[in-house]
């Protein structure tokens, strides 16, 4: 009799365990507190709603918003993503609930090419981001500092006008001309002079890395696919080449500051300014060389 009762107890426990596993797999929403989540399109296992983005994501998201409303929850792999499609919803996110949404996603490829995302655009919200923003607002983007680069803008604009005059009567690729104009100003403001050839090549590779889809950021357990496809290797190669390029430029500025090449405050570029901030211990902010590179790169 005792053996029979023990067998019954064992069978009951096994049945209970099997039932709990079945419920957890079949009806996971019964085992957790229901949350008031936004509407969400039906998703597929593993990839979630990635298949619904299509070749024109902005059009696909607009079509989905027409069906599910201005706030909807999409799942890109295992990453839950809130999509806002109205001005009112955007205001709620960017202004009213700014602190809840102000951090940044963690993407492996971006971490590789952007020094662990130490720049202002992609650094996670926290003390580092606040200090970096303060440095940028005070030392890089103030009205006085922006006005100090007026001569650079005037010189480059003069070159554009002269080029248009010279090519009078012939076809001109305005897009390429304006892109070159913007790049030259950016190089002079950030690094003191223009860099052609290698820099353009590195920038093109860098931009390719920014827009490429990497599986591991959305489906972590498939992250090995990015290394197998060569994506991680390409990112590491581009990061190494860009790091060597930026290292040589910073070293050049450091050497100039030791000699007679260090100009007045009006002649300083962003690297000079950031090196001054790094040297100034009064801020209480550790401004290492990788942070300087990350800020300049972005």
pLDDT tens for the chain, 298 residues: list them. Answer: 445 445 444 544 455 445 455 444 544 544 444 568 888 888 888 888 888 888 888 899 899 999 998 899 999 888 888 888 889 988 888 888 888 888 777 788 888 888 888 888 888 888 888 888 888 888 788 888 888 888 888 888 998 888 888 887 788 888 888 888 888 888 888 888 887 777 778 888 888 888 888 888 888 888 888 888 888 899 999 999 989 988 888 888 888 776 655 555 556 788 888 888 877 765 666 778 888 888 887 7
CA angle 140, 143, 144 (to 5 degrees): 80
Q: Phi and psi for 44 in degrees, rounded to 5?
A: -100, 155
So what's the pLDDT on residue 18?
54
- CA–CA separation, 163 vs 168, rounded Å? 9
So what's the pLDDT on residue 264?
54
Answer yes or no: are the C-beta atoms of 121 and 114 closer than 8 Å.
no
CA distances from residue 148 to 53, 126, 186, 265 in whole angstroms, order as listed: 45, 31, 14, 9
- CA–CA separation, 275 vs 277, rounded Å? 5
- pTM, full prediction: 0.72
- Give CA 179 to chain center in angstroms: 22
- CA–CA separation, 25 vs 18, rounded Å? 11
């Amino acid at each position: 009799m005792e053996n029979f009762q023990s067998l019954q107890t064992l069978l009951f426990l096994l049945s209970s365990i099997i039932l709990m596993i079945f419920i957890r797999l079949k009806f996971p929403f019964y085992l957790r507190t229901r949350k008031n989540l936004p509407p969400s399109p039906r998703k597929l296992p593993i990839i979630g709603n990635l298949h619904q983005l299509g070749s024109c994501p902005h059009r696909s998201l607009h079509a989905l918003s027409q069906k599910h409303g201005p706030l909807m929850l999409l799942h890109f792999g295992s990453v839950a993503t809130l999509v806002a499609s109205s001005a009112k919803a955007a205001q709620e996110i960017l202004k009213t609930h700014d602190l809840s949404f102000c951090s940044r996603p963690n993407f492996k490829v971006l971490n590789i090419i952007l020094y662990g995302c130490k720049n202002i655009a992609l650094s996670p919200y926290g003390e580092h981001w606040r200090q970096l923003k303060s440095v940028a607002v005070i030392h890089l983007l103030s009205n006085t500092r922006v006005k100090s680069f007026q001569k650079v803008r005037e010189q480059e604009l003069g070159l554009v006008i002269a080029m248009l005059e010279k090519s009078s009567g012939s076809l001109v690729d305005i897009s390429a001309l304006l892109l070159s104009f913007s790049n030259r100003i950016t190089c002079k403001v950030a690094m003191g002079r223009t860099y052609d050839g290698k820099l353009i090549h590195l920038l093109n590779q860098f931009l390719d890395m920014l827009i490429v889809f990497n599986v591991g950021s959305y489906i972590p357990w498939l992250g090995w696919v990015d290394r197998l496809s060569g994506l991680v290797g390409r990112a590491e190669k581009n990061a190494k080449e860009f790091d060597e390029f930026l290292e040589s430029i910073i070293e050049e500025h450091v050497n100039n500051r030791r000699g007679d090449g260090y100009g007045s405050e009006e002649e300083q570029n962003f690297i000079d300014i950031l090196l001054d901030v790094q040297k100034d211990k009064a801020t209480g902010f550790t401004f290492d060389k990788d942070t300087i590179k990350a800020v300049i790169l972005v």
